[in-house]
Amino acid sequence: MNRPFNMPDEFVEGFMKAGESLWRSLGWAPKADGDGADLGAALNASGRLAELQAGHLMRLYQLTEHVMKSAAGVQSDGGIEPARGDRRFNATEWRDNAAYSLLKQCYLLNSRYCVDFVEALELDEKEKHRLRFFTRQLVEAMSPTNFIASNPDVIKLATDSEGQSLKAGLDNLMADLGRGSLTITDEQAFEVGKDVATSKGAVVFENELFQLIQYAPATEQVTARPLLIVPPCINKFYILDLQPANSFVRFAVEHGLTVFMVSWRNPDASCGHFGWDDYVEHGAMRAIEIARSIAGADKINVVGWCVGGTILSSALAILRTRGDEQVASVTLLTTMLDFREPGDLGVFVDEEGTRQRELTIGNGGIYRGSELGFVFQTLRSKELIWPNVIDNYLKGKPPERFDLLFWNADVTNLPGPMYCWYIRNMYLENNLREPNRLTMCGTPVDLGRVDLPAYVLATMEDHIVPWRSAYRTTGLFSGETRFVLGASGHIAGVINPASKNKRSYWLSDQRCDDPAAWLAGANEKPGSWWNDWIAWLQPWAEDRVPARTQLGSNQYPSGESAPGRYVKTKAN
């Protein structure tokens, strides 16, 4: 089904299911036997609703009284202010103009009422989580800053420009409707391989799934054991190599590591048959074998990020079961292996929707990256959707030039069979955490067989991999694990350059089942987790050896220059 801005079926269906949950909770939906409504539920709901409404009306009265006193110059403490960090109402009119101030505070008060209303409903946690999420979408969509007539900045700009800003905004809107997606950055401002993904290196292997990049050394001596990075296949790898100042790749090579990077292919129709096992065996496992061979090392160290970490962990469990010991240590960056609390992404996953996807693309086809990109934008709609709507369509501004948003907009497709298997077995049924429940590449998978030293990073404000879910990896692997909790979110918490020494991270030697108990006993350290990680890795990287001047090997000769052509392919 084609919808504006690549809105996927899961999003529309999620709204409908949230509405059904609301009607059922209020007793307005028919009973299961179709014989009228649930009177008991309706009476209970009526009581809760009356109590909430009474409190809301009292707060509205107090707000009106506050505005009247403020207009008369009388000091009053009854006002409502946005949450810290909410920049929607930064214009002075929202504070100094009585009409705008009342509009802002009414919106904030009504938003609070909607949130309280949902929390008061008697629903199971999964249904309530879905209703919370879609209520938040509606609340954020209805902000007065999103409309021409109620945004003072928009009105002022339109007046000063004699309407030209509105005309430019309409042009921007029509262009985005034509392309089918919301523009979040200037997509012509960067070129992959020229402005981003600029670290020197070469492609030393490729198959239908990925290219393997080896980066040129930056030191005269390097560690004997190389580092292989397996990024997520739902995004492109160059988030780890945006620009020199914030490149994780550059940081690693400058600390004497020989770095290999998996660059996943952006699937087209010809790749519609690839499944999860292909990504594990012909992706991660093949890359491990080749990186070790080229380096001539006894073992290698590996890093996986997000779903790349899930693929990598699956591969390691298989290798350890087969008696393969060519990996010395594993680092997981914001990775979920236990999916019991999947965060907001879980609102899009249920049996009905998963079965529908299996019927349409489960045996062959492509899940479009533009649809997945829309889903990720809704997880942070206040930052990624509505500010762009205001700037692009209401103010008529050109999109900003920002490397991180350029990467975010550079979406990737997924093979249908791989996507459907992943959604069912991870998000829906949470099978990976159960020993030997899944068989991959002909081998039963038990994460407990991963007895390697492990560095597990989560981030405090992660909206994709909740840190408490990432913490549970410490109870799945059987080796010594160092769990680190970084500040910020899924991307900014990982890409936190050591040179800038910003933010902080939390550490603790204690191990307990409860993530909250771990955090209560953890110590906060200033700066980037990168420095902690590189120090942790040194014992597993072995002694230094002279750096090779030639990339690749006789068996795997170097080919095209990094970043290779796979990463430059745009999603259709």
Indicate which residues carry an active-site annotation: 306
Half-sphere exposure (CA, 13 Å, Cβ side) for 515?
18
Structure tokens at 380: 């942070």
- Gyration radius of the chain over CA positions: 26
- Are 428 and 354 spatial neighbours (Cβ–Cβ below 8 Å)? yes
Report how far apart, in Å, the C-alpha atoms of 391 and of each of 87, 91, 172 are: 14, 14, 10
CB neighbours of residue 125 within 10 Å: 8
Half-sphere exposure (CA, 13 Å, Cβ side) for 129?
14
- Are 98 and 71 spatial neighbours (Cβ–Cβ below 8 Å)? yes
- Are 221 and 546 spatial neighbours (Cβ–Cβ below 8 Å)? yes
Rounded-to-integer distance, Cα 197 and Cα 215, Å: 11
Rounded-to-integer distance, Cα 355 and Cα 200, Å: 44
Crossing angle of helices 125-141 and 9-25, rounded to 10°: 110
- Are 441 and 276 spatial neighbours (Cβ–Cβ below 8 Å)? no
Q: What angle do CA 496, 501, 504 make, to 5 degrees?
A: 70
